[in-house]
């Protein structure tokens, strides 16, 4: 699978609209999780592997390569970290975490109400 670049065909878009390239990237296994975990600070490969629930080294290496090539993460002395663009992207994505928790609670309440009734 090739790296989803804006302007090239990606999943869901033959023209590669930038938003579709981004969604293709973020929809890949562990891409979003890596961003989420790097928001808490830089990490070496092994530290990041542990943060990501023991992701396989092959998959982690693939995602890191993609995220680096697309300038979402970078490597510094302390290890892998979000680039400026990656940090900006995280600020946009972070509210989805809070929203998803509320959503999960609402779904759980509806499910519990149906079981009780």
CATH of 18-116, one of 3.90.180.10, 1.10.10.1100, 3.40.50.720, 1.10.10.10: 1.10.10.10
For each of the chain's 117 residues, which pLDDT tens digit applies?
689 989 889 988 898 899 999 999 999 999 999 999 999 999 999 999 999 998 999 999 999 999 999 999 999 999 999 999 999 999 999 999 899 999 999 998 887 887 776
Q: What is the pTM of this model?
A: 0.84
Q: Where are the domains of the chain?
A: 18-116
- Separation CA 26–CA 20 (nearest Å): 10
DSSP state of 43: B
């Amino acid at each position: 699978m090739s790296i989803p670049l804006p302007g090239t065909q990606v999943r869901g878009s033959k023209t590669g609209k930038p938003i579709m390239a981004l969604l293709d990237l973020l929809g890949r296994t562990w891409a979003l999780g890596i961003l989420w975990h790097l928001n808490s600070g830089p990490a070496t490969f092994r530290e990041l592997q542990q943060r990501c629930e023991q992701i396989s080294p092959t998959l982690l290496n693939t995602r890191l390569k993609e995220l680096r090539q697309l300038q979402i993460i970078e490597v510094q002395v302390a290890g892998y970290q979000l680039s400026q663009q990656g940090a900006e992207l995280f600020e946009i994505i972070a509210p989805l975490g809070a929203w998803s928790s509320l959503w999960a609670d609402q779904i759980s309440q509806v499910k519990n109400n149906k079981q009780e009734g």
